[in-house]
Structure 1
C-alpha cells in the first residue's frame, strides 16, 4: 500500500481514489478491449494455420492490394483487425501505407458504442474513414507525401526500440515503403522465439494459458452484454450476475495476461511478441500464439487506461467541453483527441456523441485519427514508426473533419442518434 499511497500523494488524490482507478482500469481494459482483440487475432491466426500461411504470402505478392487490405482490416469493429497489420509491417510483409490505412480506418472499440446507439452515423463516419484510409494509404506508398520531413522531426526522439526497419526512410529517399531489414538474421529477428525452458513452470504456464482462454470467453460475453446495454457504468461485484462476470473476467484475465507476457512466454515458446507467424504446428499452437499476442496488447492497454484515468482526475479534464467547442474547433479537437493511443478516451467521445454533445464532423475526424489499441504493438517494437504513423492518420482526419464542418448538410449535433 505504501507505493499506492506515494502515488496518491504525488497526484494529489486520496489513496482510495487511486486504488479505485487502478482496479477499474485493470478490469475494464481486459473486458472492453482484450477479449475482442483475442477473437480477431485468433481468427486470423487460425486462417494462417488452415491455409499454411498462404494469406500472408498472397499479401506479400500483391503489393497493390496492401493498403486496401489494411483498410479492410481496420474497418472491422474493435482494434483486432488493425492490430494484425502491425506485425505484418514489422516483418516487412506490407508497406507503411498499409499501416496508415489500417490505423486510419479503425474506429476501435468506440465503434461498438456508435453502432449500437447511432448506427446511421456509424455508417457514414466509418464509410468516410475507410475511403480516406484507402486513398491516403495509396498516396503514401506512391508519393511519400513529405514523409522525410516527419522523419526529421521525430528522429530526435532516438532510435527505434529494436533494429527493425522504418518504412518511411525508404519512402523519403524515393524507394518502396516496405521495411528493409538488413543482415543475415533479419528474418530470425522477426520470427524467432525465445528459448523454451522446461520444468514445473512449463506446466503452470500452459495451465494459465488454458485458464486465460476460459476467462477471455467470459470476458467476451461480458463485453457484448456491456455494449448491448449501452456501455453503462459497471460497479465492482463478484456475485453470479453480469456485473460479477464483468469484474471477475476483467481482473483474472488481466492477471493471467501479465503472467503470460512477462513470465509464461519463457516456458511455452512464444517469446517474440508482436510478430506474425508464417504457420502453426497445431490448433493449440494457434490458440497459444493468439493468447500471447493479446496478452502483450493487454499490458499496453492497461498502461494507457491508467495514464488516461489518472490524467482525467488529476487535471480535471472534460473531454466534452474540450471537443464540443464552437465552430470548426470541434472537428479539430476530435482529430487531436485521436492522437491519444488506446480506446478509453475514444469510447468516452463516442458516448458524448450519442448524447448529442458533439457534432458529426468531430465524430468523423476522431474516427479517422484514432488508432485505438492497434498502435501498441508497433510502439512496442518500433516507437519512431508508431509516432510517424499516428501523425499521418491525423492529417486526413483534419482535412475530412474540417471539410464536413463546412459542406456536409448533416454535420451537426445528433445526426443518426437513435
Structure 2
C-alpha cells in the first residue's frame, strides 16, 4: 500500500511553487505590454526569434500571443512552428520546479532547435498555412494591456484589502509556515521530491535551491501586494488561480501516485530501459494532445531518474500544452501541419538522442 501523506505533501509543495512562478510570469507578460512584437512584420528571421522566445516563456500565454500574431498576419509559418516547438505549456513550470538546472539546459536546446526548425519551415513552406477570410478571428489572448500599478494606491489597497487579496496572502503565509514546520520538507525533500528509493548525496538541499525557492515566494508575494484590484481579480485570480490550481494539483497528485504504484510493483527503470523506442513513440503520440497534464508523466519519470533526457526532449518538442488550442479553433489545417512538423522534429531528435545514449 502506498503512503499517501508524502505524496499529498509533495503535491502541495510542487503546486504552490508552480503557482508562484505563474503569478510572476503573468505579471511580467502584462507589464511588458507586448513591446517586443513591434517592427517584426518584414523580417522572417526576427519573427522566428520572437516565436522561439515566446515558446520558451513558461506557460501558454506566449503561444497564445504567437497564434494571435499569426492569424493577424504579423508572423509567418516559421515563427509559429518555432513557437510550438519551444512551448512546453505548464510542464515548463514543473521542470523549473523539480530540476531547474537541467530545465535551463533543456530550454536552451529546445530554443536552438526551434530556431532551426522555424528557419527551415520558412524555406520550404513559402505559402502561408492559413489565410484569414475576414477580420473576424477566434478570440485568443491578445498582446496584453497593462492597466498600470500606481504607487499611491498601495496603502489604500492594504487599508481596504479585498477578500481575494487577503486569501492569497494568507495562503502564502500558511504555506511558508507549513514548509518551515514540516521537518521532512524543510530538510531536503525539495531537491529530491521524486527520487523515491534513491539515496541522496546530501541530507539537505543545496543553498541556492533554498534561496531560489524563497526568492520566488517573495516575488509572488510582492506581486500580490502591489498590483491593483482589477489586475489581481482578472489576471492573478481569474486566469491563474481559478483556471490552473485544481488542474495542476490533481494532475500532479495522480501522476505521483501512478508512478509510486508502478515503482512499488515493477522495476520501472528496467522496463523503460528495455523499451526505449516504444516509450519514445508514446511520448510523441501523447504530445498530439492539446492539453497540459498528460505529458506530466514524462516530466515526473525524468525527475525520478527513470527516463532519459532524449525522450523528455522529444515530449517537450511535440507537446504545446494549451498553446495550440486557439490555432485548432481557428484553422484545423494549420494545427495539423504544425503538429506533423513538431512530431517529425521531436521523433528525429529523440531517436538521435537515444542512439547517442543521451
Q: Where on the TM-score scale, by shorter chain, does this alignment land: which range?
A: 0.5 to 0.7
Q: 1:142 to 1:344 in 2, by over 3 A?
A: same
- Find the counterpart in structure 1 of residue 103 from structure 2: 122
C-alpha distance in structure 1 between counterparts of 2:309 and 2:290, whole Å: 21
- Find the counterpart in structure 2 of residue 343 from structure 1: 292
TM-score by length of 2: 0.59
Q: For this pair of structures, how many residues does the alignment match?
A: 284
The answer to whether the 8 A contact 1:74-1:103 is kept is: yes
**1:371-382 aligned within 5 A:** 371-382=320-331
1:181 equivalent among 132, 149, 164: 132
C-alpha distance in structure 2 between counterparts of 1:217 and 1:393, whole Å: 41
The answer to whether the 8 A contact 1:323-1:334 is kept is: no
**1:282-361 aligned within 5 A:** 290=235, 294=239, 298=243, 326-361=275-310
The answer to whether the 8 A contact 1:97-1:138 is kept is: yes
- Find the counterpart in structure 1 of residue 52 from structure 2: 71
Unaligned 5+ segments in structure 1 are 1-26, 145-173, 193-209, 234-282, 412-418
CA RMSD in angstroms, aligned pairs only:
5.0
Q: Tell me the CA shift for residue 217 of structure 1.
A: 7.3
- Find the counterpart in structure 2 of residue 266 from structure 1: none
C-alpha distance in structure 1 between counterparts of 2:139 and 2:93, whole Å: 36
Deviation digits for residues 56-115 of structure 1 (CA, Å, limit 9, x no counterpart) = 332334332111111112213343433332222233322232222112112333334444
Q: Tell me the CA shift for residue 355 of structure 1.
A: 1.5
Q: Tell me the CA shift for residue 345 of structure 1.
A: 2.6
**1:135-146 aligned within 5 A:** 135-144=116-125
Unaligned 5+ segments in structure 2 are 1-11, 143-161, 180-184, 195-227
Q: 1:86 to 1:135 in 2, by over 3 A?
A: same
TM-score by length of 1: 0.51
Deviates more, 1:341-350 or 1:127-136: 341-350
- Find the counterpart in structure 1 of residue 73 from structure 2: 92
1:45 maps to 2:16: no
C-alpha distance in structure 2 between counterparts of 1:219 and 1:377, whole Å: 32
The answer to whether the 8 A contact 2:18-2:93 is kept is: no
- Find the counterpart in structure 2 of residue 160 from structure 1: none
Q: Tell me the CA shift for residue 231 of structure 1.
A: 9.5
1:404 maps to 2:353: yes
C-alpha distance in structure 2 between counterparts of 1:33 and 1:66, whole Å: 29
The answer to whether the 8 A contact 2:283-2:314 is kept is: yes
Q: 1:355 to 1:328 in 2, by over 3 A?
A: same
1:366 maps to 2:302: no
C-alpha distance in structure 2 between counterparts of 1:28 and 1:382, whole Å: 38
The answer to whether the 8 A contact 2:290-2:325 is kept is: yes
C-alpha distance in structure 2 between counterparts of 1:127 and 1:369, whole Å: 16
Q: 1:367 to 1:182 in 2, by over 3 A?
A: closer
The answer to whether the 8 A contact 1:333-1:362 is kept is: no
Q: Tell me the CA shift for residue 325 of structure 1.
A: 5.0
Q: Tell me the CA shift for residue 401 of structure 1.
A: 0.5
Q: SS where residue 289 of structure 2 aligns?
A: coil
C-alpha distance in structure 1 between counterparts of 2:323 and 2:312, whole Å: 19
1:104 maps to 2:55: no
